[in-house]
Amino acid sequence: MPDNNAPSPRTKLVREPQRAVYDRQQIDAILDEAFICHVGFVADGQPFVIPTGFGRSGDHLYIHGSAASRMLRTLDQGIPVCVTVTLLDGLVLARSIFNHSMNYRSVVVLGTARIVSDPAEKLEALRLLSEHILPGRWAESRFPNEKELKATTVLKLPISEASAKVRSGPPIDDDEDYSFDTWAGVIPLTTAVGAPIPEERCHREPPSYVAHYARPKRS
């Protein structure tokens, strides 16, 4: 694991540096709570940012998709990639429009990815992707068959250059604005889990990991 408190020149925050987080445990916690990452890259001079699912194992992220995916085929050529996740925790309402903000936790990972060619590692990566979204589901589902595995590409990206940016707390107004008579504060935002809805041909009761589904708690 890289040094927990040593950002690279590319990941060191310049704007709002007081919000920077370089501790790997906190970075990993944000990654583990998020559902979707956005993968940024340039192909033939055109920038792309693609949302996709992901999973983490130790010091690596795994990203998967169709074997025909332009994103995955392009990234395996060793071009630079930027992967980001963001968790939105609240809307911050200040007295002035200029000082409105959001409470959030975000991570940026820079590097180059490679295709996972070892069959055992590829299957394990797919398990990690599944368990990242819904822990316990992999063991109760049909495993991918040979045709499905052939149609799927998995990329592995080291978390060797990464930083987080976090904003929390109330609004910060200019001194002269505290006399302005308007409501100021935070509207908290959370991901709410609804009651499971069974498919019409499913007659089983939902297992515990479905009935009591929850994302990792913020530490």
pLDDT given at position 215: 82
Average pLDDT over residues 25-35: 95
pLDDT given at position 4: 54
pLDDT given at position 5: 63
Domain ranges of the chain: 17-171+207-211
Per-chain mean pLDDT for the chain: 92
pLDDT given at position 169: 96
Give the CATH number of domain 17-171+207-211; options: 3.90.1480.20, 3.40.50.970, 2.30.110.10, 2.40.30.10: 2.30.110.10
Confidence check: pLDDT of 218 > 90 = no
Average pLDDT over residues 109-130: 94
Give the distance, in angstroms, between the CA of residue 26 and the centroid of all CA atoms in the same chain: 13
The CA-atom distances, in angstroms, between 184 and each of 60, 98, 170, 178, 187 are: 41, 13, 8, 9, 10
pLDDT given at position 3: 47
Q: What is the pTM of this model?
A: 0.90
pLDDT in tens, 141-187: 999 999 999 999 999 999 999 999 999 999 999 999 999 999 999 99
pLDDT given at position 71: 84
Report the distance separating Cα 99 and Cα 92, nearest Å: 9
